[in-house]
Amino acid sequence: MDNHPPKPPTRRPEAERLETDVLDLLVVGGGIVGAGVARDAAMRGLRVGLIEQRDFAFGTSSRSSHLLHGGLRYLSQGHLRLVHEASKEKRVIHRIAPHLAAPQAFIFPTRRGWRWARWKLGIGVKLYDLLCGRRNLGKSSTLTRRETLELLPGLSPDGVTGAVRYFDGLTHDSRLVMDTLRSASRHGAIVLNYARFLDAARQTDHWRIDARDAAADRAMAIRARQIVNATGPWSDKLPHSRTRLRLTKGVHLVIDRGRLPIPEAVVLTEGARILFAIPWGQRVILGTTDTDYAGPVDDPPCEPDDVQYVLDVVAALFPGAGIAPRDVISTWSGLRPLVADRNGQPSDISRRHEITLAEPGWWDVTGGKLTTYRLMAEQTVDRVIRALGRPANPCRTAVEPLLDPREDVGPSSIVPPPVTREAVEHYCHNEWALRLDDVLIRRTGWWYYHADVQAVADAVAPWMAKSLGWDAPRVAAERAACFPLWEAASPSIPPPHRPTAPAKSPGRIPAN
Ligand SMILES: Cc1cc2nc3c(=O)[nH]c(=O)nc-3n(C[C@H](O)[C@H](O)[C@H](O)COP(=O)(O)OP(=O)(O)OC[C@H]3O[C@@H](n4cnc5c(N)ncnc54)[C@H](O)[C@@H]3O)c2cc1C
């Protein structure tokens, strides 16, 4: 391979193709919802383009709890339809992307005098199985006190009455976005990252869209008959949008599995709130919080109070574990783009989605969950096709696999793959990676998984340089731009390898 270095991929033809003809549909936003809409629209035969202001999955779709779930707690709020809908979708994802959907057992310990009595939960999980169809991803069961304490030896035994065990799915959120986009692209969608929507003006029968290609540092003019605003937490900021959002923030912490050796995922309760400890290879993901948020939408910080809150909940259930901020390997923090409802606690707000025609040819798609993205996309594309007023293929996204079953799915997995040059070349050549953090964070999750992320960056940067034609100053600039992200995301955590002198981020990415 050294004798035949791969030709640097070029994104220019994609950018130019976006501007050539009038598109049937332009999707704004490259999170899971935008990716799902682009895939569905392309499969139905529409000429579709997608622009993403940063990297694909930069927003909430790389900052979730990684669960495919019906939402057991929405049952207690009486949202049966929502749970049924999401439960069906969790099985659909299991079918179309088996490499990104592993059945995950959850142990939900119960205690005397708590609102979650074991008998009530026992009925709840049976109903949960039923709502998922004849078979959930696994059959739920009830555990005795002894069985529970044997399974979770570190669990505080005070008042424990037993547990229920039920199943949801574990995924890798940003990988799901990438593979959905790969499929969209194979079906003809033109997708471009680092291209920001600026404004749109209605012409007689189409929109004229002004956008900025940050990678090539140039203005773009795109024409499209319909626009779907799928910008998640940003969706009320776009001109023409009618969306009203209530943003809530959720943080996650990653610790070594040796610090909390749980055999399966554990439900952690704090009053009416539910948090999770989820095994993730050699690590455990702890989270999440749910607090109203009014700060900047890009990169919401994980504050010391957020970390302490999560660790306090863990300490109440696993008092002997003694997990402290110094045990935290990494954190991420995301914003839920909830449909506005000023009343009630954040955790009580429904995760329903809304598809709104803001004005002719402009659709806002908001709310929902990672789990329900495919359904949101199907319903959106149905409406777009009706508005276009012409025949199209039927929706096949629930049955057609994201990737060809014969394809090597090695670089796309729930747990980060090994750090190899072949994987990095694949991300640069087939998955639109342009920056160091595109690979470290959203293509792989190495950023969150590896304690010594600088060593990983040291290995990855030269491989990216070779694939993308970077010179030495560009490599240095990429590293310098990457590590302040750590500072911003986790001001409270003293990671052992945190760099001391973060440099300034390079202004723009040179075009390849
Ligand atoms: C803490 C947390 C945990 C969660 N856990 C789960 C879970 O376990 N399971 C589950 O099913 N759901 C979960 N969710 C919900 C789920 O993650 C979100 O519903 C989903 O990711 C939202 O996707 P999206 O595409 O709507 O938004 P995003 O992923 O935020 O995508 C929007 C994109 O639009 C881009 N954009 C913005 N402005 C512009 C512009 N002007 N031009 C071009 N692009 C633009 C942004 O950069 C961004 O990439 C969780 C959410 C949070 C916050």
237 and 362: one domain? Answer: yes
Q: Which of 222, 369, 375, 438 to mutate to test the pocket of ligand 1 (most atoms within 8 A of CB)?
A: 369
Query: Considering only CA atoms, which residue is closest to atom 26 of ligand 1?
Result: 232
194 shares its domain with 321: no
- pLDDT tens digits, 310-356: 999 999 999 999 999 999 999 999 999 888 765 655 655 556 899 99
Whether residues 313 and 258 share a domain: the answer is yes
- Is 189 part of any domain? yes
Whole-prediction pTM = 0.94
Same structural domain, 232 and 355: yes
Does residue 187 sit in the same domain as residue 50? yes
Residue type, 68: L
Angular region, 344: left φ>0, alpha ψ -120 to 50, beta rest: left
280 exposure class (CB count in 10 Å sphere: 0-12, 13-18, 19+) = buried
Instruction: State the distance from the centre of ligand 1 to the C-alpha of 233, rounded, in angstroms.
Output: 7
Span from the CA of 421 to the centroid of ligand 1 (angstroms): 29
Asked whether residue 263 falls in the same domain as residue 333, the answer is yes
Q: Is 155 domain-assigned?
A: no
Among protein residues, the one with the nearest Cα to ligand 1's atom 31 is 31
- Dist. CA 102 → ligand 1 center (Å): 21
Secondary structure letter of residue 150 according to DSSP: H
Domain that holds residue 293: 252-339
Q: How many distinct structural domains can be found in the chain?
A: 3
Other beta carbons within 10 angstroms of residue 144's beta carbon come to 13
Helix axes 32-43, 373-388, angle to 10 degrees: 50
Same domain, 292 and 431: no
Pocket of ligand 1 (CB under 6 A): 28-34, 51-54, 58-61, 63-67, 69, 196-197, 230-234, 238, 250, 288, 334-337, 368-371
Instruction: State the CATH number of the domain containing residue 264.
Output: 3.30.9.10
Tell whether 32 is covered by a domain. yes
In terms of domains, do 358 and 235 share one?
yes
Q: Which atom of ligand 1 is nearest to the CA of 287?
A: 1
Which residues on adjacent β-strands are paired with residue 201?
Answer: 208
The CATH code of the domain that includes 361 is: 3.50.50.60
pLDDT value at position 487? 62
- Which 3 state secondary structure label does DSSP give 36? helix
Residue 173 C-alpha to ligand 1 middle, in angstroms?
10
Would you call 294 exposed, middle or buried from its count of C-beta atoms within 10 A (0-12, 13-18, 19+)? Answer: exposed
Ranges of residues in the chain whose predicted pLDDT is under 50: 1-6, 494-512
Q: What is the pLDDT of residue 98?
A: 95
Residues 228 and 354 occupy one common structural domain? yes
Q: Within a domain: residue 478? A: yes
Q: Which residue shows structure tokens 């970077």?
A: 470
Do 316 and 238 share a domain, yes or no? no
In a domain, 190, yes or no: yes
Burial of 502 (0-12, 13-18, 19+ CB in 10 A): middle
Q: Are residues 212 and 282 in the same domain?
A: no
Choice from 106, 370, 380, 438 to test ligand 1 binding pocket (greatest atom count within 8 A of CB): 370
Task: Tell how far the Cα of 370 is from the centroid of ligand 1, in angstroms.
Answer: 8
Interval between CA 302 and ligand 1 midpoint (Å): 17
Between CA 412 and CA 101 the distance in angstroms is 11
Whether 68 is covered by a domain: the verdict is no
Express each pLDDT in 1-36 by its tens digit. Answer: 334 444 557 788 888 999 999 999 999 999 999 999
Residue 57 and residue 82: Cα distance in Å, rounded? 24
What DSSP letter does each residue of 70-118 carry, written as one string?
--HHHHHTT-HHHHHHHHHHHHHHHHH-GGG-EEEEEEEEEETTSSS-H
Has residue 124 been placed in a domain? no
Question: Which residue, judged by its Cα, is nearest atom 3 of ligand 1?
Answer: 64
The closest of 209, 189, 200 to 36, measured between CA atoms, is 189
Q: Position of tokens 């424990």?
A: 160
Judge whether 139 lies within some domain.
no
| Whether 286 and 307 share a structural domain | yes
Mutate which of 170, 234, 237, 249 for ligand 1? The one with the most ligand atoms within 8 Å of its CB, which is: 234
